Each structure stands twice: as structure tokens, then as C-alpha cells.
Amino acid sequence: MQDIQPPLPAAGASLTDGFGRQITYLRLSVTDRCDLRCTYCMSEHMTFLPRRDVLTLEELYRLSAVFMRHGVRKIRITGGEPLVRKNIMSLFEMLSHHLRSGELDEVVVTTNGSQLSRYAKSLHEAGVRRVNVSLDSLDPVRFRAVTRCGDLAKVLDGIDSALAAGLKVKLNAVAMKGAFEEELDGLIRFAHGRGMDLTLIEEMPLGTVCHDRKESYLRLDALRQDLEKRYTLSPLADQTGGPARYVRVGETGGKLGFITPLSCDFCASCNRIRVACTGELYTCMGKEGAVDLREALRRDSSDEPVSSLIFGAIARKPRGHSFAIGAQDVQGIGRHMSVLGG
């Protein structure tokens, strides 16, 4: 029996899933490699992909262009660590034309900061105006323990370079029980003292790691209640296109964000999709299923087969994720966070 192919999407048709959510935000991973080994993100001894399995920068750009034609207005470049990808600036330069034309609202980057001192100025010249930097500790010893090999001074230099280049920097920190709770006030003062927002993220059960997530998981609703004992937190309506919900900290004047995939589900308003560096399209970070776009991309010079696969995947986008961390068990998935950059 001949396979029945889904109808080709109309030119310029928007990406709308079965729940009426319009997809306008693409998180694009450019590499699975990273120069750090954060304990909540990766196993200590990772096996990375062979080069043949990873899309070229030109293929990543071509995919981006397909998504833009169907309504994506924001692209976040992620990894692994995106700035370790060889010749990565050529992708930003290709995307910059769409920023200047108005086809894209913004291109942003999530990075561990280790390469920012090298790339901050070039990123700004390519039209990037915001970067998110993962920073879980200001203690050099704990920073090295969390990242297994990181140099805090190098990351702080990168943050300085980004600010000097005119980039708006937001710090991201994964909330975990223990030393993090003791350091949180210092992170807030550091970020807000330099005009940076800080976003706290609940640990998610992605991949096998070296610690027991049942012991390390810290609910952000509980943490927020604790913060309210010593800070004045005023809710804000600010949105950056992602899942964070923000408050203004009265004592510092800065913004504090909360990303709560487990304690306070935000899936109902999801406008995001993720593409791995292999060309696999994930419509939900918390699900295993993916659609392979690489074969169609490499087999056909026309973008129509790729568009058809994308629309089919979006139509099947689930209502929400299925992972959870409880006192007795963890419902997670095998894919490490580094595959999609969170």
C-alpha cells in the first residue's frame, strides 16, 4: 500500500498545534558538545556525536529559514555549549540579515559564559542583544564541583565582556537543595548590583546523572515563600517569550525569574519547539519522541518535504510534559539536558 503523505502546508502558513498554541519560538541546538560537565546536565563521561550526524551550519540556517517562513519570530541558539562550535559566528551572521529585515524579532544565546570574552563583541555586531549565562555559584570551589572542570574567573570575565559589548545579560541558576540555598542571596545581590536579571530553574529529570534527584530537587514555590520572608517580591507582567515568571525585588530593584516545570506547570502557554544539532525536532522537552528532519533536508533541495514533516509534528505536539520528581520516585527521560540546551 502506498504511504499517504500529509498535504503540503500553504506558503506562509503559521505553526499552530492541536491546542491552538501558535509556535513562534525556536530553540536551535548547534552542538551536543560542551567544555563543562555540569552535574545536573551531563554524565561525567559523555559520548558525543560523530561529525557526520551533526547538521552543518548551512543546514541549521536552512532549517531556521523554513521555520521563519512559517511564523517563528525568535530563535535561541543553544548547545551543549554553542560557542564551542567551530565557525559558529557564520550562523549568527546569516541570521543577522533576518534581524535587519524585520523577519526575526531577536536572536538570543544561552551559554555557560566560558567563551563570551572571545565572542561578545562579534555577537553584538551580528544583532544579538541578549544572552543567558548559566551561573550556579559564585564560590570558585563549588563552581568547579558543579561543573566538574569550570573556571569561575573565566566565566566572570565573559560576563564583563558581554556587558561591555552592550549585551543584556540574564543569569540562570539551577536551584538545588544544600549549598545553593546558602548562596542564593549572594547571587541575587551580584546580578542585581550589575543590572542583570536572575532566573531560577527547577532541576528537571533529564538523563542519568551522578546524584539522587529526589534528594537535590528544590521546589521553587517553596523557595519563593522562603525568599518572601526577607525580600519584598512584587509580581511583574514582563515576558521574554519563555516560561519564566518575574518579580521585582524591592530591596535590590532587580528582576528575579522563576521557571517551574514541575511545581507549577506552564505548558498551557507553550510557544516553543526545539531542534537538536542532528536535525531532530522535539515539540516537547519533556517527551522522548522526535521527528527526524535531517534525512529530508539532505535528500531534497526543496524545502517542501521538511515543511510537511514540521507541520505534522506540530499537529501532534502534546499538551504537556510527563516528568516529575517526588519523594519516592522520579519520572524522567533518558535524554540529557545538553542535547537540547534545556
Distance CA(222)–CA(296), nearest Å, equals: 46
| Residue 10 domain flag | no
Distance CA(174)–CA(197), nearest Å, equals: 14
Cell readout for 151 is: 573556571
pLDDT, tens digit, 9 for 90 and up, residues 153-181: 999 999 999 999 999 999 999 998 888 99
| Residue 163 domain flag | yes
Render the burial of 15-44: b for 16+ CB within 10 Å, e for the rest: bbbeeebebbbbbbbbbbbbbbbbbbbbee
Domain of residue 120, CATH code: 3.20.20.70
Binding residues for [4Fe-4S] cluster: 34, 38, 41, 267, 270, 284
| Residue 6 domain flag | no
Give me the number of domains the chain comprises: 1
Phi-psi region of 240 (alpha: psi -120 to 50; beta: other; left: phi over 0): alpha
Domain that holds residue 314: 25-339
Largest distance between two CA atoms of the chain: 68
Q: For the purposes of burial, counting CB atoms within 10 Å of the CB of 222, is it exposed (0-12), middle (13-18) or buried (19 or more)?
A: exposed
Tally the C-alpha atoms within 13 A of residue 90's C-alpha that lie toward its C-beta: 10
Q: Which letter does DSSP use for residue 262 in this model?
A: T
Which residues fall within 8 angstroms of residue 299, CB to CB, at 6 or more apart?
305
| Residue 20 domain flag | no
Residue 34 identity (one-letter amino acid): C
| Residue 277 domain flag | yes
| Residue 19 domain flag | no
Binding residues for GTP: 27, 76, 110, 170, 272-274
> By the 8 A CB rule, do 307 and 59 touch?
no
Binding residues: 27, 34, 38, 40-41, 76, 80, 110, 134, 170, 204, 267, 270, 272-274, 284
> By the 8 A CB rule, do 194 and 254 touch?
no
Spell out the per-residue pLDDT of the chain, length 342, in tens.
Answer: 344 444 556 666 899 999 999 999 999 999 988 888 777 766 677 777 788 899 999 999 999 999 999 999 999 999 889 999 999 999 999 999 999 999 999 999 999 999 999 999 999 999 999 999 999 999 999 999 888 888 999 999 999 999 999 999 999 999 988 889 999 999 999 999 999 999 998 877 665 555 565 667 788 989 999 999 999 999 998 766 667 889 999 999 999 999 876 655 667 778 999 999 999 999 987 777 799 999 999 998 999 999 999 999 999 998 766 665 666 565 556 566 666 665
| Residue 11 domain flag | no
Binding residues for S-adenosyl-L-methionine: 40, 80, 134, 204
| Residue 154 domain flag | yes
Q: Please state the pTM of the whole predicted model.
A: 0.88
Cell readout for 215 is: 534528594
